[in-house]
Amino acid sequence: MGRGGSGGGGGGGYEAVDDPDGYFGEVVAAHYDDTSADMFAAEAVDPVVDLIAGLADGPGGDARALEFGVGTGRIALPLARRGVPVHGIDMSRAMVERMRAKPGGEDIGVTIGDFATSRVDGPGFAVAYLVFNTINNLTTQDAQVDCFRNAAAHLVPGGRFVIEVGVPDLRRLPPGQNAVPVRVGATRLGFDTYDVATQGMRSHHMMVVDGRPVYWSLPFRYVWPAELDLMARLAGMRLRDRWAGWKGEPFTNDSTTHVSVWEKV
């Protein structure tokens, strides 16, 4: 994952904004794979790996891939098993340590740092990618613009930058309301709060672990598809494709997510 500080545990939450791991420190990392278990299923992972592997085997025949926010290796590990060399950038040592403990995790090169600005030495990459809403972890427009520029700086000419992110769900906000539930279950609750004036949002999570309540809260900045296209233009890239999902579903007015591919000019 990207920037921020870790959440809190016990009966309430805290924000360790000075945590070097950002908002994805030990408290979040300890439960991340379990709380996102559906995203680790083959039906969620395989289409992502298929698309990125195809893009990696592109410009110049260089199959190297760069993941911004490599986390616990949800995509990097199966992509590497497909024969694509993967390097990741991530601020959270706690998340990366969990990837390292998995089979093949030691073989993934990782640069610890902010993926909006951290640089990886060596030849350029055929594809850079940023999935599962991670662009929103950059909580200012300037940081998101920097991310596009950083991606372009790492790509070979003709290389591709891929982002998967939700379409802002503001149609679910009636006048006077700023909260939207995203998960309601017996052992876990989640809801997002929005500040429409600043494009700020915050994701709140509450779950029961070993009979004890755990709460953490993460800040985000939501971003519109057209805004991302402008960021790409500022970085010297142009939109090549936009779908509603990893299987190439058409992007429409009712799409809740999009997978967008920009090409370095």
Q: State mean pLDDT over 44-64.
A: 86
Query: Is 71 in the same domain as 176?
Result: no
Q: State mean pLDDT over 81-86.
A: 96
Per-residue pLDDT tens for 149-202?
A: 999 999 999 999 999 999 998 998 999 999 999 899 998 899 999 999 999 999
Q: Is residue 229 over pLDDT 90?
A: yes
Residue 245 inside a domain? The answer is yes
Q: Is residue 204 over pLDDT 70?
A: yes
Residue 153 inside a domain? The answer is yes
Chain position carrying tokens 């809260």: 217
Confidence of residue 8 (pLDDT cuts 50, 70, 90): very low
Query: Is 62 in the same domain as 127?
Result: yes
Higher-pLDDT residue of 62 and 36 is 36
By percentage, how much of the chain surpasses pLDDT 90?
74
Length of the chain as a residue count: 265
Q: State mean pLDDT over 35-44.
A: 88
Cα 230 off chain centre by = 19
Q: State mean pLDDT over 121-129.
A: 95
| Euclidean distance between CA atoms 49 and 216, whole angstroms | 30
Query: Is 109 in the same domain as 235?
Result: yes
Position 32 scores a pLDDT of 82
Position 58 scores a pLDDT of 65
Q: State mean pLDDT over 256-263.
A: 98
**CA-to-CA separations, 98 to 73, 93, 95, 174, in angstroms, rounded:** 8, 9, 5, 40
Residue 201 inside a domain? The answer is yes
Q: Is residue 33 over pLDDT 90?
A: no
Query: Is 78 in the same domain as 205?
Result: no
Position 73 scores a pLDDT of 98
CATH code for the domain in which residue 183 is found: 2.20.25
Q: Is residue 1 over pLDDT 90?
A: no
Position 84 scores a pLDDT of 96
Query: Is 95 in the same domain as 184?
Result: no
Look up the domain containing 194 and give its range: 171-218
Confidence of residue 124 (pLDDT cuts 50, 70, 90): very high
Position 151 scores a pLDDT of 98
Q: Helix 225-234 and helix 141-154: axis angle, to 10°?
A: 50
Residue 55 inside a domain? The answer is yes
CATH code for the domain in which residue 44 is found: 3.40.50.150
By percentage, how much of the chain surpasses pLDDT 70?
91
Q: Is residue 49 over pLDDT 50?
A: yes
Query: Is 161 in the same domain as 177?
Result: no
Residue 118 inside a domain? The answer is yes
Position 3 scores a pLDDT of 37
Position 56 scores a pLDDT of 93
Per-residue pLDDT tens for 242-253?
A: 999 999 999 999
Query: Is 122 in the same domain as 178?
Result: no
Query: Is 200 in the same domain as 163?
Result: no
Q: Which of 163, 165, 156, 154 is nearest to 66 (CA)?
A: 154
Query: Is 206 in the same domain as 255?
Result: no
Confidence of residue 214 (pLDDT cuts 50, 70, 90): confident
Domain count, the chain: 2
Position 60 scores a pLDDT of 54
Confidence of residue 12 (pLDDT cuts 50, 70, 90): very low
Strand order, beta sheet including 65-68: 109-112, 86-90, 65-68, 125-130, 155-166, 257-264, 237-243
Query: Is 66 in the same domain as 188?
Result: no
Q: Is 240 helix (H, G, I), strand (E, B) or coil?
A: strand
Query: Is 94 in the same domain as 210?
Result: no
Query: Is 139 in the same domain as 59?
Result: yes
